[in-house]
Amino acid sequence: MILADSFCQNAKARMSEFSTTVNDSPLIAQFAANTTNDFVDASQLVYPYVDGVDLNCGCPQKWAMKDGYGCALLSNMQTIYDLVKGIKNCLPNDFSVSVKIRILKELKRTIDLCQQLEKCGLTFMTVHGRTPQQKSSDNIDTDALHQVCQSVKIPLIANGGIKSLSDADNLYDTLKCNGVMAASALLTNPALFSGANVTPLSCVKLWMNMKDKEYTNISFQCYHHHLVFMLEKVLTKQQKIVFNHLNSFEAVDDYLISNLLNDYEGPTEFEYSLEEFISCQYPDEITLKHASKCRGCGKSAYYCVCKKYDCNATDGTYFTSYVKDIESCDYTGFNIFDETG
């Protein structure tokens, strides 16, 4: 899920959040957005490189809900309609537009919502089988998902509770849906749909190689973060304690080679070449419209007035309340890590 406003505003966000290869198709870019301008402009930026865009209306995280993203949109059908229509009016008809939602507590409301979304002109929709209030450990409601599948004519992708390829097969057979999406389980095992029960070392090796290729723009935080997930079922408890505290590319690679890959003789590449990453180019006429905006107040980011700069403050908050240059700040700090930002 890419924050559409950050993607439009900040070159670092664009470099960190999106990369692709010449053979990466079909490809859908999923955005979190709550204004038509942000969603349309972000979609236009990635249009040359993707087959469609998806609007996330299913994220239940507190920061997303507070900022009007994800599940917060489920109570505002007009906003969803405007966002979808914005894409339909600006981009070609063969460009895919989809929405991901969660089921609601009342089944009738869920069905009504899906039927309204269908009338917006969606290419397909994805429905998560838990309500926004439920935890990821709760079982999905397959009965509700089945009834939703029967209520719409456009392709429907089911989501939730997928931890293995057999889980995906079983859900597909139960619902007779058009496809199955996995999310968190793919972080733990990116090769899940191949039938592998844990992350293959060939996948780890590919990720190691990928960070060194031009145009991938993988930060250390991203590199290490994904490896922590991928190695969850590979490393021992003691190994995890050591690995999770490594703080450089070199330290991580040395650890992986010494503890996992030293005697590895399996495949190190997948079918496509890592040399084929694209150098994405984004038109200035779109990015410059957003570059000087402060997300909090909508005014110039060169002097943000959302929080007054106070040089006498003693709690340290003034260090993050005064923005001189939007490109020099860490865009992720606005929403993901600092809910008060």
Active-site residue (options: 8, 57, 59, 203): 59
Q: CA 93 from chain center: how many Å?
A: 24
In whole angstroms, what is the distance from residue 279 CA to residue 167 CA? 37
Residues contacting residue 189 through CB under 8 Å, at least 6 positions apart = 196, 197, 198, 199, 230, 233
Contacts of 228 (CB under 8 A, 6+ apart): 240, 243, 244
The closest alpha carbon to 101, from 91, 93, 90, 109, belongs to: 109
Distance CA 187, CA 202 (A): 15
CB atoms near residue 270 (< 10 Å): 12
Describe the strand order of the beta sheet including 124-128 as a list of residue ranges: 2-3, 28-32, 52-57, 96-102, 124-128, 156-159, 179-181
**Catalytic annotation present for 59:** yes
Tell the burial category of 86 from Cβ atoms under 10 Å away from its Cβ (0-12, 13-18, 19+).
buried
Task: Give the catalytic positions in this structure.
Answer: 59
